[in-house]
Homo-oligomer: A and B are copies of this chain.
Amino acid sequence: MIEDRRLNVLRAIVEDYVATQEPVGSKALVERHRLGVSSATIRNDMAALEDEGYLSAPHTSAGRIPTDKGYRMFVDRLAEVKALSVAERRAIETFLSGAIDVDDIVMRSVKILAQLTNQVAIVQYPSLTRSTVRHVELVGLEGSRVLVVVITSSGRVEQRIVELTQTPGEQLLGDLKSRIVRATLGQRLPEASLRLAELIETFELDDRPVVSAIVTTLANTFSNERSDERVAVGGTANLARFGADFDTAIRPVLEAMEEQVVLLHLLGEATSGPHVRIGRETGRDDLSGTAVVASNYGPDGESFAQLGTMGPTRMDYPATMAAVGAVARYVGRILADG
């Protein structure tokens, strides 16, 4: 009973603080919420919540602000999912469905996510390692060069040009291609990479140099870490809203944005549905004032990569989670179609 009210108080404080950006006091709380008790009672509750580590007071006579633990409790047990408006859903759908290729989808996702949340948006490119081989093509070019093209289930097209020491015959190229396709079609890229290695030995000695060069390039493409780790970032201008504390809130975010590795780490591992990391939970001490809301995306069930937003811990979690979830869903759907 009393426990319930305390949690309600915590919820009210989080909501008010997010809305006003100012420490909230007992009196203001009873005025803005129908809690049915007096401010003195609230004071007792707030003191208790502070003891338990959910709140902290900047100084003796200011209001309270939620701690990271307080926010954590809020998102875990107190927040109700805030549904997006119809207009917002429409906006996401129409904007994303106008995309013409995978790059465009990623760029548009970043943009719409930044707009919806007023935060910094991060979208990881569909991971090569988690998608499968949809198509492979070998094209002999002039001279002794061969163009290798791979299309993955996530719609990505990767191409390489291989310089050979000798010019391969048409029939060899055709043979090689069909064997490659047979061995790798529908396979996940890391597995396909393994199958390729086995392939070399099935060719005659004379053809080995050519086959080996092409197959190696292909295998490299399959397990290309560089493109696997690419992310797009947008909504940087929203950093302006983070408030005036430049050094504590903005600079660390800018620095994190410079390093793709850091961003990937922040997005975290695949989990289904939006998840939240608050302050130090991000794993970086300098981002103690920052929270990350991320979700995996991909056609139903499958998970191609992650996307999400980065903002101050004092953010509107329900709205942000809803937006991240919705965008992830639409992106997944569109990738499945395209």
A236 within 8 A of B: yes
CA distance A237 to B135 in the complex (A): 40
**Copies of this chain held together in the complex:** 2
The residues of B that contact A336 with a CB separation of less than 8 Å are none
> In the complex, which residues of chain B have a beta carbon less than 8 angstroms from the beta carbon of A226?
100, 104
> What are 28 A-B pairs at a CB distance below 8 A?
A100-B226, A104-B226, A135-B142, A137-B139, A137-B147, A139-B149, A147-B149, A149-B159, A157-B159, A157-B161, A159-B159, A234-B258, A235-B258, A236-B257, A236-B258, A237-B251, A237-B254, A237-B255, A237-B257, A237-B258, A239-B254, A240-B246, A240-B247, A240-B250, A240-B251, A240-B254, A244-B246, A246-B246
Tell me the A245-276 residues at the B interface (CB within 8 Å): 246-247, 250-251, 254-255, 257-258
A157 CB contacts on chain B under 8 angstroms: 159, 161
Shortest CB distance A40–B (Å): 41
* Number of chain A residues whose Cβ lies closer than 8 Å to a Cβ of chain B: 29
Separation in Å of the A299 CB from the closest CB of chain B?
Answer: 19
- Tell whether A141 is near chain B: CB-to-CB under 8 Å: yes
Bound state CA distance, A255 and B244, in angstroms? Answer: 17
